[in-house]
Amino acid sequence: KSSEITAWTETVVAEGNTYTIDEELSSFSKSILEDRAPGVTYYSGDVYYNAVYTDVTGGDNKVTMQVDARVYGYDQAFAASEVQRRNISIDTGTNQYYIEETPTYTTYRDMLYSSNEPQAISLAGNYKEIARGSGIIQYNVLLGNDELQPADAVGTVIVEDSPRVEQLPIPSLSQLMGHPAKSDVERMYSMKVFDVNPRGFSANQPVTRGEYIEMLVKALQIPVPKADDKKNPLPKGLFNDISEEHSLYPYAVAAYNAGLIQGGSVNPYEYLNREQMYVFNVRALGLERLGFGADSNYTPFLDDSKISPYAKNSIYAANKLGIIPADGGYLFPDKYVSYADCAAFLNSFFDYLRYDLQKDYNQYMMF
């Protein structure tokens, strides 16, 4: 998509002088290419502009700034990040500057557990979601005036947003006392990813394909069409094994619209196995290409021969991304995923979305 500036107003105050943008002499061009995966929107593009400023304080001096920038970013339910590579030329009439600049802005939803200090309280503790954001600019002045000291030519400026906190309740899961998956399961309930009645919850119960599709749609905030929307009714005949009256149907339509599943047979009541889960996760990320051309002779999994051919690219991609937990070198691709396993795997997957995905967009691109 391309952007066109219809009005441009800007005022800059520097060293006691006030400069305003000259719209007639300035120009701006921005073109961005987006790729919408089921769970992440990626984008990249370019920004070019030539800004001419007039000193309105006196003297009518003009300052020209030319900017050439490459833009990369993504946006998803747990985090968003944008990084630019800017080459900036400034001509003040008496001095010329050339600056390399890398601004980044990142937001993410952190999730922490807080235990309550009073003993006489019915709540032992709960999870809280903290929305955090920060902007960082790294700059390197390659050409400047004689007064600029080398120590001032290179630097970093960091600005932190004020965090926003939301308290998340945890249902009573007394049957999980001492269970290694207790905290993972509690996180899933706090995020409303699990909706099984807590009283009847069993950590060893296998997850069905339909249940997992609904979990991903909820967690990734994929838009779910309303079943009772008369102006935009749900499409019919998409699936041959889910009726339009079924509670799963709107979530299946959402997954279909996003590209997470195909039409036809969804097999919603089949138990989910591990390789199917990883295929769903990588498809949600839209990063299947990272597994293309993978050579099975170099797979790290000792049970590679048990991986279905259709799943290999996604599983290799998941391993490259670090979203397959270590299990003694084995993948166990045909093993059913229990609710306990599902909670652990999803927490690892969501943490990748919260923290690790942004590394490619800021840490690795900083000079």
Residues 200, 349 within the same domain: yes
pLDDT for the residue numbered 363: 64
d(CA 71, CA 1): 13
Residues 67, 191 within the same domain: no
Within 10 angstroms of residue 5's Cβ, the number of other Cβ atoms is 12
The string of pLDDT tens digits covering residues 22-40 is 999 999 999 999 999 999 9
* Residue 237 covered by a domain: yes
* Residue 141 covered by a domain: no
The string of pLDDT tens digits covering residues 136-187 is 999 999 998 878 888 889 999 999 999 999 999 999 999 999 999 999 999 9
Q: Which of 76, 93, 110 is a domain's end point?
A: 76
* Residue 289 covered by a domain: yes
Residue 342's SS3 state is: helix
Confidence band of 297 (pLDDT split at 50, 70, 90): very low
Confidence band of 299 (pLDDT split at 50, 70, 90): low
Q: Which of 60, 76, 92 is a domain's end point?
A: 76
CA distances, 297 to each of 81, 203, 288, 300, 332 (Å): 36, 36, 19, 9, 18
* Residue 90 covered by a domain: no
The string of pLDDT tens digits covering residues 120-141 is 777 788 999 999 999 999 999 9
The answer on pLDDT for 295 being more than 70 is: no
- Token pair for residue 78? 């747990």
Confidence band of 101 (pLDDT split at 50, 70, 90): very high
Q: Could you identify the residue written with the tokens 């039409």?
A: 263
The answer on pLDDT for 359 being more than 90 is: no
Q: Which of 53, 76, 99 is a domain's end point?
A: 76
Counting residues of the chain whose pLDDT is more than 90, the rounded percentage is 76
pLDDT for the residue numbered 294: 62
State which H helix or E strand residue 312 sits in: helix 312-321
The answer on pLDDT for 53 being more than 70 is: yes
* Residue 195 covered by a domain: yes
pLDDT for the residue numbered 144: 86
Identify the CA nearest to 10 among candidates 57, 54, 71.
Answer: 54
* Residue 336 covered by a domain: yes
d(CA 183, CA 177): 10
Residues 338, 219 within the same domain: yes
pLDDT for the residue numbered 367: 44
The string of pLDDT tens digits covering residues 189-213 is 999 999 999 999 999 999 999 999 9
Residue 257's SS3 state is: helix
pLDDT for the residue numbered 118: 80
* Residue 102 covered by a domain: no
d(CA 26, CA 190): 51
How many domains does the chain divide into? Answer: 2
The answer on pLDDT for 343 being more than 70 is: yes
Mean pLDDT of 343-349: 96
Counting residues of the chain whose pLDDT is more than 70, the rounded percentage is 97
> Using a CB cutoff of 8 Å and minimum separation of 24, what contacts does 11-14 make?
12/53
* Residue 343 covered by a domain: yes
Mean pLDDT of 101-105: 95
pLDDT for the residue numbered 227: 80
Mean pLDDT of 13-21: 91
Residues 53, 200 within the same domain: no
pLDDT for the residue numbered 120: 76
- Token pair for residue 42? 């990626």
Which structural domain range is residue 50 located in?
1-76
pLDDT for the residue numbered 208: 98
- Candidate from 250-264, 268-282, 284-298 with smallest mean pLDDT: 284-298
Measured over the CA atoms of residue 122, residue 125, residue 129 and residue 130, the dihedral's sign is: positive
Residue 66's SS3 state is: strand
pLDDT for the residue numbered 145: 80
